[in-house]
């Protein structure tokens, strides 16, 4: 087996003495999508933020391409340059046009020439149906369009892996589809992804592995048809039946 | 729909128009009575001729105004230069104070002490201290020109205020913005430069202009250093003629440069409120 792209080993994290992650192991191999499911507060978002070094872990290790990156001596900027993250609330830069925000990091952090970055950015926008929006500002776009721009901004840096933190949770239901369509296409294109989501149908579609997080631990993991459609653990069953009741499956 | 029977929409529009017309008429009459009445009352008092002669003398205005205007030119040059200096220095102080690097701790400390101290001292006192204190040291490299010293004093005082404005602006940018900037691979400095600061500055333009309005009249304080600017010229004139018209002439000049800025500020804030309402309506 080749080296995993993202390898989370026994990671723990407390906030003000409250444990949020209690020894989490997650492995994402190249071209794979691992989907984290679980209730709010189960630690999905925190885990993603730890992987992107936006939050410092207390114990354990996180390896990117076999290299330990959670060593306090390692350079967080170098690690973040090799990953890309998309957030629940889009976090687009409101003062920048669409083309400016998707070329900012490639030019400033990745040393790509401005002309090349713009050309690649336009190609990405066209590919995901936003070709006529490059001069617009975020407040001129719908939520679905904003989140698609955020996805393009992330992949424009040619990341080794994409971290998606509940990217459809802030969207109106009718806008969820267009965003998930982009992710499905990226998955087909072989993007390595670690995804936190509440969309079970989507998880079933893209996941090579589903991990059910409960109170900071992975209680159950496996193929989507096992974990989502035939859960073994009582907690997983409880969570999924609540999701059923809310008709989100 | 035929022209003889107005639609409900037309009836409503007509009612709305007539309501607006009536409102405008009432406002005009009310203004005329209150302000016109006030002026009439004032100018028919027994002592009015004396007041008019002392404060609104056309003759005194004519003789003093050219000198005052020349003096005011010093004020204008001074506040323009000081505004630029304050912008640069206060942005520097604010950014420095929002850093986290341990090596910069002494600068953060100095910045914090400076901002608190200089906001606490009256500007006129700082003008005195710098304007008379520095020449008293008789140091070889220090400037002795009172105008330069005045500019330094005003910059010191206003940078303390404006740096707090910028700092509030930096704090007002949502932490998710910095997170997103770091997540795409920017360094901390780049996140500050390209993502946080542009939004911070935009957020604080109104309070910033407010401080500049205040600065544009506080330049008169430098007259204590013997700089013959508009207020000082007017003061000398008034003292020699016992007529206060020159002071009002000077006052009108300060008003002429500050009022447009205030109006601009009002308009900007109105627009800001409107765009926020629009945003909320869409959300």
pLDDT reported for residue A245: 84
Same domain, B12 and B136: no
Contacts of B199 in chain A (CB under 8 A): 93-95
In a domain, B41, yes or no: no
In a domain, A128, yes or no: no
The shortest C-alpha distance from A60 to chain B (Å) reads: 22
Q: How many domains is chain B partitioned into structurally?
A: 2
In a domain, A147, yes or no: no
In a domain, B159, yes or no: yes
The shortest C-alpha distance from A95 to chain B (Å) reads: 7
N-term to C-term CA, chain A: 34
The shortest C-alpha distance from B176 to chain A (Å) reads: 6
Confirm or reject contact between A52 and chain B (CB < 8 A).
yes
Residue A168, SS3 per DSSP: coil
In a domain, B46, yes or no: no
Same domain, B244 and B107: yes
Inter-residue contact B254 to B220 (CB < 8 Å): yes
Contact check, Cβ <8 Å, B199/A109: no
Contact check, Cβ <8 Å, A153/B176: no
Q: What is the pLDDT of residues A205-246, one digit of tens each?
A: 899 999 999 999 999 999 998 999 999 999 999 999 988 887
- As a whole number of angstroms, the distance between CA B220 and CA B166 comes to 25
* Residues spanned by the domain of A182: 6-93+161-245
The size of the A-B interface in CB pairs under 8 A is 62
In a domain, B47, yes or no: no
Q: Which of B183, B186, B195 sits opposite A54 (nearest CB)?
A: B183
In a domain, A77, yes or no: yes
Q: What are the start-end ranges of the E strands in chain A?
A: 6-15, 18-28, 33-37, 59-64, 67-68, 83-86, 161-165, 193-196, 209-214, 217-222
Same domain, B192 and B100: yes
E strand or H helix that includes residue A77: helix A76-82
In a domain, A131, yes or no: no
Strand ordering across the sheet containing A6-15: A18-28, A6-15, A59-64, A67-68
Q: How many domains is chain A partitioned into structurally?
A: 1
Same domain, B103 and B12: no
Same domain, B140 and B8: no
CATH number at residue B205: 1.10.3720.10
In a domain, A59, yes or no: yes
pLDDT reported for residue B26: 96
* Residues spanned by the domain of B236: 60-282
In a domain, A170, yes or no: yes
In a domain, B50, yes or no: no
In a domain, B54, yes or no: no
Same domain, B227 and B161: yes
Contact check, Cβ <8 Å, B185/A157: yes
Confirm or reject contact between A22 and chain B (CB < 8 A).
no
Confirm or reject contact between B183 and chain A (CB < 8 A).
yes
Contacts of A52 in chain B (CB under 8 A): 183
In a domain, A80, yes or no: yes
Same domain, B104 and B202: yes
Q: What is the pLDDT of residues A144-186, one digit of tens each?
A: 999 999 999 999 999 999 999 999 998 988 899 999 999 999 9
In a domain, A122, yes or no: no
pTM beyond 0.80: the answer is yes
E strand or H helix that includes residue B23: helix B8-31
Confidence band, pLDDT 50/70/90 cuts, at residue B282: low
Confirm or reject contact between A95 and chain B (CB < 8 A).
yes
Inter-residue contact B114 to B93 (CB < 8 Å): yes
Q: What is the pLDDT of residues B5-37, one digit of tens each?
A: 888 999 999 999 999 999 999 999 999 999 999
Q: Which of A89, A94, A154 sits opposite B184 (nearest CB)?
A: A154
pLDDT at residue B3 tops 80: no
CATH number at residue A207: 3.40.50.300
For B98, other C-beta atoms within 10 Å of its C-beta total 17
Same domain, B125 and B190: yes
Residue in A with minimal Cα distance to B193: A108
């Amino acid at each position: 087996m080749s080296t995993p792209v993202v390898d989370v080993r026994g990671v723990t994290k407390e906030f003000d003495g409250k444990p949020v992650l209690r020894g989490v192991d997650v492995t994402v191999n190249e071209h794979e999508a691992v989907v984290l499911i679980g209730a709010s507060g189960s630690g999905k978002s925190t885990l993603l933020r730890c992987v992107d070094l936006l939050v410092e872990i207390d114990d354990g290790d996180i390896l990117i391409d076999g290299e330990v990156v959670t060593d306090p001596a390692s350079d967080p900027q170098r690690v973040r340059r090799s990953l890309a993250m998309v957030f629940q609330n889009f976090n687009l830069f409101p003062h920048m046009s669409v083309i400016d925000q998707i070329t900012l990091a490639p030019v400033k952090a990745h040393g790509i020439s401005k002309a090349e970055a713009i050309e690649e950015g336009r190609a990405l926008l066209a590919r995901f149906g936003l070709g006529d929006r490059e001069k617009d500002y975020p407040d001129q776009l719908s939520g679905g369009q904003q989140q698609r721009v955020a996805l393009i901004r992330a992949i424009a840096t040619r990341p080794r892996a994409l971290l998606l933190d509940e990217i459809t949770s802030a969207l109106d239901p009718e806008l969820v589809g267009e965003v998930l369509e982009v992710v499905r296409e990226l998955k087909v294109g072989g993007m390595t992804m670690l995804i936190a989501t509440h969309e079970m149908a989507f998880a079933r579609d893209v996941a090579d592995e589903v991990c059910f997080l409960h109170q900071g631990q992975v209680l159950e993991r496996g193929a989507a048809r096992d974990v989502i459609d035939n859960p073994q653990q009582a907690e997983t069953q409880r969570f999924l039946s609540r999701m059923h009741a809310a008709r989100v499956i | 729909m035929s022209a003889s029977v107005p639609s409900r929409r037309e009836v409503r529009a007509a009612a709305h128009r007539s309501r607006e017309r009536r409102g405008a008429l009432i406002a005009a009459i009310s203004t005329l009575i209150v302000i016109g009445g006030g002026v009439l009352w004032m100018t028919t008092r027994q002592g009015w001729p004396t007041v008019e002669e002392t404060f609104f003398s056309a003759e005194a205005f004519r003789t003093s105004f050219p000198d005052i205007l020349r003096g005011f030119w010093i004020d204008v040059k001074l506040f323009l230069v000081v505004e630029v200096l304050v912008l640069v220095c206060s942005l520097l102080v604010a950014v420095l104070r929002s850093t986290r690097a341990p090596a910069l701790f002494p600068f953060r400390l100095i910045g914090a002490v400076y901002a608190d101290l200089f906001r606490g001292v009256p500007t006129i006192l700082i003008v005195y201290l710098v304007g008379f204190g520095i020449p008293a040291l008789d140091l070889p490299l220090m400037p002795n020109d009172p105008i330069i010293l005045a500019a330094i004093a005003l910059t010191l005082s206003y940078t303390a205020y404006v740096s707090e404005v910028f700092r509030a602006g930096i704090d007002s940018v949502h932490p998710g913005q910095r997170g997103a900037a770091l997540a795409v691979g920017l360094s901390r400095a780049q996140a500050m430069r390209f993502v946080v600061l542009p939004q911070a500055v935009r957020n604080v333009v109104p309070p910033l202009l407010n401080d500049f309005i205040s600065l544009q009249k506080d330049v008169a304080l430098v007259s204590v250093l013997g700089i013959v600017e508009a207020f000082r010229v007017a003061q000398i004139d008034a003292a020699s003629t016992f007529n206060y018209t020159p002071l009002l002439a000077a006052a009108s000049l300060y008003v002429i440069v500050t009022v447009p800025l205030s109006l601009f500020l009002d308009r900007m804030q109105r627009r800001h409120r409107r765009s926020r309402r629009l945003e909320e309506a869409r959300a």
